[in-house]
Amino acid sequence: GSSSSVAGRSGTACPQPPEHRVEVNRASNHHHHHAPPDYGRAFAAAVILNVGFVVIEAVYGFLSGSLALLTDAGHNLSDVLGLLLAWGAAALARRKPSLRRTYGYSRATILASLFSGLLLMGAVGAIGWEAANRLLAPPQPAGLTIMVVAAIGVVINTATALFFLSGKDRDLNIRGAFLHMAADAAVSLGVVVSGALILFYGLNWVDPVISLLIAAVIFLSTWGLLRDSLNLAVDAVPRTVDPDAVRAYLLGLPGVRELHDLHIWAMSTTDTALTVHLVMDVYPGDDRFLADVAEHLDHHFRINHATVQMERNTTDVTCRQALHCAD
């Protein structure tokens, strides 16, 4: 839940005369560490299932002499690495902050989602390259062994993707893991469908065409992940937050004449922070105002780490932050 504390900020953004310092520079600090949901078991199960599938693909690829299966085994191994990356970032995000790392390691989830997007884009390039080569040299009819192994891949990758389905819309790091597994399920399904069409109808051209369609779908779904994670990495306002609505709410608060130095950014893929300076006509009589602001920002905008600094409209001391902000 939301909470706030009140503190004087002497010697910080707006230096005030000693007799006014504490009164003028009151701030609401919402500095609780919000541990994200624990997906440890989901990641462990996903890694175990996919490592097992990589072994199956590699063994049957070697026994059947299928380069396609061996290549796909290598691709799935890279997805296992992506899962391990996301798992590690999720585990780091649950660690408590320290004196040196006051935000903890929660930003690791943003970096992991960014790397997941890059890995998926790499997979799209590899699939597209393979499909182009197959268009130039159509493959031989797919054997039943390849189709059966690919069908196993559909089941395993779909089941693994479902582990992360509930969190994919709330956490970019989890969305990256979900997209990795969903992409693998799509690729395996494409192998089964194209293999059947080639085997029974001799339509050799179907295989590369389906591969290109799958690559296009993966690209479209990954583009959003890559865009959002890159925005979070450079401290842009999260896509789920409307900065104009936040500004309108703050300006509509009782006693607020204007505001400046408004910043909204992601501390992790699940936590959002805000800082703002409110210029007040009249200060509230107690700290209930600050607590209500923090609670409203949390429940209506999912901003769960808010710092609000209050300044008098009548002061003759100019806030240094107001001179450098774009508000």
Coil/strand/helix, residue 17: coil
Cα–Cα dist 290/293, whole Å: 5
pLDDT of residue 321: 67
**Which residues of the chain carry a pLDDT beneath 50?**
1-31, 33, 326-327
pLDDT of residue 31: 45
Cα–Cα dist 196/146, whole Å: 10
pLDDT of residue 36: 58
CA angle 178, 35, 246 (to 5 degrees): 85
What burial class does residue 221 get, using C-beta atoms within 10 Å of its C-beta: 0-12 exposed, 13-18 middle, 19+ buried? middle
Tokens linked to 301: 């905008």
pLDDT of residue 327: 44
pLDDT of residue 26: 45
pLDDT of residue 13: 40
Give the residue among 3, 39, 29, 5 at the shortest CA–CA distance from 270: 39
pLDDT of residue 317: 66
pLDDT of residue 67: 65
Residue 43 identity: F
Cα–Cα dist 79/46, whole Å: 10
pLDDT of residue 12: 38
**Beta carbons of 58 and 73 less than 8 angstroms apart:** yes
Q: What percent of the chain has pLDDT over 70?
A: 82
What burial class does residue 297 get, using C-beta atoms within 10 Å of its C-beta: 0-12 exposed, 13-18 middle, 19+ buried? buried
